[in-house]
Amino acid sequence: MAGKREDAWKLGAGWNDTFLWYAKAIIELKTRDVTDRTSWRYLAAMHQFDRDMWIGLGIIDKNAALPPASDTLIAWNQCQHSSYYFLPWHRGYLARFEDIIAATIVALGGPVGWKLPYWNYLDATNPNARKIPEAFLLKYLPDGVTRNPLEDLPRYGQTVIGPEPGFGIPDIDLSAMKETDFTGTVSFGGSKTLFSNPEAGVRGQLENAPHGSVHVLVGGALPVNPGDGFLSAFETAGLDPLFWLHHCNIDRLWAAWMTAPGVKMESGKQWLDGPSDRAFAVPTVDGSGLENYAARDTLAGGKFYPEYDDLHLGTGVPAPSAGGAIRVAQGPTSMAEPIVIGANGQKVSIGDAPVETAVTIASKEGSAVIVAMGPNAPERPAPARLFLKLENIRGASIAGGIQAYINPPAGAGADLPQDRVAGSAALFGLASASKVDGQHGGNGITLIFDISDLARRLIEQKDFDPKHLRVKIVSVHSGGDANPVTIDRVSVLRD
């Protein structure tokens, strides 16, 4: 459909026109100096930039001139990970990237109206959905001589997205799409909503999976050198042409979620006009200047609001009834402030082997938990909920995977029982989020998992003693024992 973003797999196999012109435009953008606001490297640095890393990977020369601080302090290092601005910032970033690619294609003699495709890896009706689109795996352009810029860069080697036991990363799914509130309290950690809040380092459901999982499954979790997989690090992700298709699909999932019955989209002025500390910025299409935008510009009626050919396939959101209008729901969140009812007493350090830590819940609160969640619980307006929080996960590895278990059998080794899994996540950008002098302030990554169903099951099995709750954590990363992943605190929260 003209003017709408389309599914990459529906454009035709191999070198369809959309991907061929995308490749030609990238070749042109790569010829432009990093100081050019429309260059491939400038646009990637807007996500995140690390001079030493880029020099080490040969992306820039050690003597290369960089844009002036008047540009870099505004436009570079803007990625909004672990923030409730994660989606609106990326939406504006995608839109302007799309505009620049489209303008470049026209300048090269190509068609008007090029649109960024999306990689619909969760479309159950397409047997190829989880494969990287073919054009990104071909060595050369159709002339058989020109190297293909869609393929000519490091990836871990995943051509099909799925479970990766070696990384400890579970299968990607659409569980995030079942959440109802854009923001909230517990929801800020991604436990009961799609997204997270400004609290440093906390990630939401959609940012965890499929977003983070796809980044790490394609980029890799084990290589020491981030050059082994650009998609695994904040600083290099934007240099992979696949990044833009992946984020286009994440953006589409947000667009689809807003049409689902019962959801509540953020409508507060602080979010709509934010952030207040540093306005979002993108280059003008011709690169002559920089342009600011706010979150409200990415919603319906805003200058960066996109159109997609389909918001149903691969989103988990039902297709609207015939003649039914697609709506964007708005409203205040309704979740109560969560209460921390227990925590472990020391930092956890995880190398090559799983580590177990004890979380003691106060006896009074523990009794209340069992009563509220047990089979004889009194009726409440809503079921009691319990959450496991892993705070400030830090490490030197560019990425990794982490999985937490509640009360696994004593002595359980590599074959930990899956019916005791509290939650799993890919640690996309782990090293970047852990740098004290980095954009994310060294806070690392914080995860919250809803363990309500697991706790109920363990209570019924009489295997949930709140005075002796055991949490076993497995982390797969390149550091091993020499450079472990650490977690400042493991705690339990209740609503």
The pLDDT, as a whole number, for residue 267 is 87
Nearest to 400 by CA among 237, 213, 211: 213
Burial class (CB in 10 A: 0-12, 13-18, 19+), 183: buried
Q: What is the CATH number of the domain that holds 209?
A: 1.10.1280.10
In the chain, the amino acid numbered 411 is G
Instruction: Say whether pLDDT at 23 is over 50.
Output: yes
The boundaries of the domain holding residue 67 are 8-298
Same domain, 185 and 289: yes
In angstroms, the CA 439 to CA 365 distance is 38
Domain-embedded: residue 459: yes
Total of domains in the chain: 2
Is the predicted pLDDT of residue 224 greater than 60, yes or no?
no
- Decide if pLDDT at 424 tops 80: yes
What per-residue string of b and e applies to 275-291 under the rule 16 or more CB within 10 Å gives b?
A: beeeebbbbeeebeeeb
d(CA 321, CA 323): 6
pLDDT digit string, tens, across residues 68-92: 999 999 999 999 998 889 999 999 9
Greatest Cα pair distance in the chain: 73
User: What is the average pLDDT value for the chain, to the nearest integer?
Assistant: 88
Dihedral, CA of residue 69, residue 74, residue 79 and residue 80, to nearest 10:
140
Let me know whether 74 and 166 are in one domain.
yes
Same domain, 260 and 353: no
Average pLDDT over residues 43-58: 96
In a domain, 316, yes or no: no
Would 246 be classed as within a structural domain? yes
Helices 86-107, 241-257: axis angle to 10 degrees equals: 130
Least confident of 2-11, 276-285, 430-439, 482-491: 430-439
C-alpha–C-alpha distance, residues 94 and 119, integer Å: 14
Same domain as 287, residue 180: yes
Residue-wise pLDDT for 113-170, tens only, equals 999 999 999 999 999 999 999 999 999 999 999 999 999 999 886 677 877 766 677 7
Bridge partners of residue 160, in order along the sequence: 131
